[in-house]
Structure 1
Amino acid sequence: MNDRAAPVPPPDPHAAPDPAAYGDDLAATLRASGSRVVPAEEFHRRTGTAPQAWASFARHWEKLAPDPYAAARGTRRLRRYGAFTFDAVTGEARPTAHTPFVQPEASNPLYVDVRRDFEPLTGAFLADPVLHTVLGLLGRAATGLESHRRWLAKVHPFRVLASPGDAGEPTPEGMHRDGVTLVSSLLVGRANAEGGQSTVTRLDGSPVLSTTLAEPGALLVGDDRGTLHGVSPLRPRDVGRPARRDVLVATFAPA
């Protein structure tokens, strides 16, 4: 008996964008291999994200706040945090009341059971249509991994900064899980940066993939139940200027 997933047919380049169907495609790949890299061009085409809408979405990263917990460990990072409930039947994501972020048990070793108070997502970010397109896509993919109607999506916009002699650490905890069903990292922008390579392995350390998200819209999605992930340090390409890496990390777990 062959238990391997059937190959996913290539998308029709002339078809209308359908993020829900695209989420099904992602789920099929994740069931087969545990992780998937979506090139930026494919992400924008399959979600129908127009350049003007993307530019407006990226401007939210200019309004992030310092992360004092990362600073205490020597990492210069800006971020905000928010959570949504996602209904797999309606495809609707609704913001929840803002609460401290608590890392799930047996996941990130640096912050287990630590209540971290981050600045909330701005009202404009909460309502941004690009964010809701991304959550709809990822929610559909999560439902393809586990059949639940209601999900809790946690949303973290990050900016990691680096300067000469002060490397930025996107994941100071090293290789880790987030303790959820689905984890994702969407590159929003990067400037004057070297490094920042994402690596995904199985729980036993065997390799799945390594990639550097370089183009805005490149997306890395993983089945967090069976994989570990981490990102290498960031350094300036031109030592006379700082480096930055802007990403949106979103996770899904059953509500």
Structure 2
Amino acid sequence: MDPHADFPDPAAGHAAARTAEEAARATLAAEGVHLMRPADVMACTGADDAAWVRFAAHWEELSQDEYAARRGTDRLRRYGHFSLEPATGELRLLPHTVFVQPDHTNPLYETVDRHFEPLTGAFVADPVLRSVLRLLGRTAGALDAAERWSIKVHPFRVLATADGGGEPTPEGRHRDGVTLVSSLLIGRDNATGGESTVYDPEGEEVLSVTLDEPASLLLSDDRGTLHGVSPIRPVDAGAPARRDVLVTTLTPA
């Protein structure tokens, strides 16, 4: 298989994938949050184990997040911006720009121009990424009938030692000012913690889960919830802890 060719749409022909997507859409619309099991994510994207290994290798090509480092967090990342036409599935990479979060969202970085390295060409072309983004576009359709989605893509790696540094969300509980926010676990090693929690506007927990199996996908309606992730720490204090995720947000363009 050509690793740079898109996968066929698995939802077009597989009942299990259709059922998983329908469940995600229904729960997300009703409760504002949904956790997709790895088997469902793999079925919905058409990815196999070999494709996933290729996809996860992109996390070895991330760059240091200097903004997080100023606050003592060892975090690596890149950033990219796409548009998606729900009617056709057409996905297009947009020109690289600074990343800015709107007012009343992220208390550390709102309205701050942050400059991150762009996604690599191999990452942009990876069929797993493209299938994941289309899956998210279909799922977000349960929240808004957008003619076009603006999709912002953030691959993250957070590292921690016994002395600290492992803060996936140094800003704490926050919103991103979007419609759908998702966190896809790529992998983790020697790590404890990293619990993802989604809250209602009053601060009550809606769902709390530790993403510990690759391809676990947490979805939440950012318009009516907040979210945060607890620190990671090493299980073996003599080696670093690692947590790799893909955070993706969707907003009508």
Ranges in structure 2 where 5+ consecutive residues have no aligned partner: 1-12
The change in CA–CA distance for 1:114 and 1:80 in structure 2 (over 3 A counts) is same
User: Whole-Å Cα distance in 1 between the matches of residues 87 and 196 of structure 2?
Assistant: 32
Measure how far apart 1:17 and its partner are. Answer: 6.7
Distance 1:88 1:20 in 2: 16
Does the aligned pair in 2 maintain the 1:78–1:159 contact within 8 Å? Answer: yes
Partner of 2:211: 213
Q: Is the 8 A contact 1:20 1:137 kept in 2?
A: no
SS at structure 1 position matched to 2:110: coil
Q: Specify the code of the residue in structure 1 equivalent to 2:166.
A: G
Q: Which residue of 1 aligns with 2:76?
A: 78
Partners in 1 of 2:104 and 2:17 — Cα distance? 32
Deviations 1:231-255 (A, max 9, x none): 0000000001000000000000111
- The equivalent of 2:39 in structure 1 is 41
Shift, 1:20, TM fit? 7.0
Question: Which residue number corresponds to residue 55 of structure 1?
Answer: 53
Q: Give CA deviations for 1:13-51 in whole Å, capped at 9, x if unaligned.
A: xx7278677544322111111101112122213332111
1:153: which partner in 2?
A: 151
Letter in 1 for 2:227: H
Check conservation: 1:193, 1:244, Cα contact below 8 A. yes
Bigger shift: residues 125-134 or 44-53: 44-53
**Map of 1:105 onto structure 2:** 103
SS at match of 1:61: helix
Q: Judge conservation of contact 1:178–1:224 (CA < 8 Å) in 2.
A: yes
Normalising by structure 1, what TM-score?
Answer: 0.91
C-alpha separation between the residues in 2 aligned to 1:96 and 1:22?
A: 30
Query: Aligned-residue CA RMSD in angstroms?
Result: 1.4
Number of aligned residues: 241
- In 2 relative to 1, CA 36–120 (structure 1 residues): closer, same or farther, beyond 3 Å? same
Pairing 1:66–2:64 present: yes
Change in 2 beyond 3 A, CA 1:182/1:112: same
TM-score, normalisation: structure 2: 0.92
- What's 1:12 paired with? none
SS at match of 1:30: helix
Please give the alpha-carbon distance, in whole angstroms, between the structure 2 residues aligned to 1:253 and 1:100: 17
2:158 counterpart letter in structure 1: V
SS at match of 2:153: strand
The reply on whether 1:119 has 2:129 as its aligned counterpart is no
1:98-247 to 2 correspondence within 5 Å? 98-247=96-245
Q: Tell me, what secondary structure is at the counterpart of 1:102?
A: coil
1:82-97 superposed matches below 5 A: 82-97=80-95
Residues 159 and 244 in structure 1, CA contact (< 8 A), matched pair in contact too: yes
Q: In 2, Cα distance between the equivalents of 1:17 and 1:153?
A: 27
Asked if the contact 1:19/1:133 (under 8 Å) is kept, the reply is: no
Q: Is the 8 A contact 1:185 1:250 kept in 2?
A: yes
Q: What amino acid is aligned across from residue 128 of structure 1 in structure 2?
A: D
Q: Which runs of 4+ in 1 moved over 3 A?
A: 17-25
Letter in 2 for 1:160: V
Identity of aligned residues (%): 59
State the distance in 2 between where 1:50 and 1:203 align.
Answer: 38
1:17 and 1:165 mapped to 2: Cα distance? Answer: 48
Judge conservation of contact 2:21–2:44 (CA < 8 Å) in 1.
no
Distance 1:61 1:156 in 2: 11
